[in-house]
Structure 1
Amino acid sequence: MDKQLRMTHQRELILDELRRGKTHPTADELYERIKKKLPRVSLATVYRNLEILSAAGLIKKLEISGRQKRFDWDPDDHDHVYCIQCQRVDNITLAAPVPQVESTHKQGYRITGRRVEFSGLCPKCVRQQEHHQAKGESSMSCPSCSASKLSDTQRQVLQALANTSEACGSKELAAATGLEAKQISCQITALKNKGYVDSPVRCKYAITDQGKQALE
């Protein structure tokens, strides 16, 4: 562990939650777990400490296909697979080593890392799909897919994000939509879970390519 990093109670709790669950939660998901033990902790504090722990090499920050950032308890190099329906992320082991780039083919780049990413349906979503197909129903009628539809309020927030060229905060979205801050916060969380909104800057939000497609 980096001796230069002061391990506060909040950071220890975040590390413990990540290691205990061994999943790949978003900052929002981890915040919901942390605040059960630290009711007064803020989402901004969780974001800040996750970034600090990631920069110190104690955890890994994942950016899966432009979706909301997730955090991995294991900082060592390994690869991932994500579900295109529910956005679950799991580790995956490759059957063969990843090819290395020959020095003559690096085109002047100094390569500092690599990422192999697979996508598909997780076991739970596969079972749901097979269940509905067996009943002769369209896969679009399953609960997970229905949950991906936009409500009028979500569409309003997403459209506001689509109309701006830069990431913006909740206050700016509230001004653009006429919604209250609590409504914005609730809808942003729902849109993040669907992969329609990302948070490229702490406490600021931007629409993803998938979010733009959802508006079409």
Structure 2
Amino acid sequence: MDHTLRMTHQREIILNEMQRCKLHLTADELYERIKKKLPRISLATVYRNLEILSEAGLIKKLEISGRQKRFDWDPQDHDHVYCTRCQRVDNIPTTSAPLPFDQIREKGYRITGCRIEFFGLCPNCQKNQEKKQRTGERTMACTSCGRASLSDTQRQVLEALAHSKEACGSKELAAATGLESKQVSCQITALKNKGYVSSPARCKYAITEQGKTALD
């Protein structure tokens, strides 16, 4: 841990919010939380400071396969389990199961790191799935996980992404939907929280399989 890191006002606000909410936030989600306290801060600055705090060992960076990068308020060693439906992430103790390091070395590899991922359905999404199966409803919001029905503007954004052959930015979506860029950005954040939109590249967005299902 780098104890010599200069703790600027921005970094202090970011770190305090991470420790206060105790959630595994993306840069976008954190930006939405702190922009009232730091109205002049940009998303790029939030991302840069998260990387700096991570490198200093004050928070932990999570790079879950195929998903947007998240940041953990707890820098101590532990593993994670994430919900494949609502994107919830929880901390769990580091696994004590034996790992095949010897077999890997026998193949000539020099091990530089190890990441174990656990995934499944969180308790809230399990309840929602069971309720859905009992009632026979095709789609039901998982309100306790933040999933809800689509608003008209969210549907516009999703449909624009569905018709796009590649990931696109807020400006392209604004042009395609006729919405203002700020309005598009707000809806993108909401759709990402529902798991309907992913960000395969910085400031670029694409519809997920869940998003396609939501449009049906």
- TM-score, normalised to structure 2's length? 0.75
Identify unmatched segments of 5+ residues in structure 2. none
CA distance 1:209–1:147, change in 2 (3 Å)? closer
What's 1:81 paired with? 81
The residue aligned with 1:144 is 142
Q: Distance in 1 between matches of 2:37 and 2:95?
A: 40
Alpha carbon RMSD of aligned pairs, Å? Answer: 3.4
Q: CA deviation at 1:213?
A: 5.1
TM-score, length-scaled by structure 1: 0.75
1:85/1:198 Cα in 2 relative to 1: closer, same or farther (>3 Å)? closer
Structure 1 counterpart of 2:107, from 98, 105, 108: 105
- Structure-2 residue corresponding to 1:17: 17
Structure 1 residue runs of 5 or longer lacking an equivalent are none
More relative contact order in 1 or in 2 (CA 8 Å, sep 6+)?
Answer: 1
Q: 1:143 to 1:214 in 2, by over 3 A?
A: closer
1:4 is displaced (CA, Å) by 6.4
Partner residue, 1:118: 119
What percentage of residue pairs aligned between the two structures are identical? 65
Work out the CA distance in 1 between the residues paired with 2:63 and 2:137: 28
Once the two structures are superposed, what CA deviation does each residue of 1:72-93 show, in whole Å capped at 9, x if it has no partner? 0123442212233432211123
- 2:174 touches 2:181 (CA, 8 Å); kept in 1? yes
Q: Distance in 1 between matches of 2:171 and 2:195?
A: 21
String of CA shifts for 1:104-140, please: whole Å, max 9, x gaps: 236x575433132222123x4445566x479x53465
CA contact (8 A) 1:81 1:119 kept: yes
In structure 2, what is the equivalent of residue 182 of structure 1?
A: 182
Structure 1 residues 201 and 11 mapped into 2: Cα distance closer, same or farther (>3 Å)? farther
Preserved CA contact (<8 Å) 1:68 1:195: no
- For residue 106 of structure 2, give the secondary structure of its aligned residue in structure 1: helix
Cα shift at 1:29: 2.9
> How far apart, in 2, do the equivalents of 1:160 and 1:179 lie?
11
The SS at the match of 2:99 is coil
Shift of 1:190: 1.5
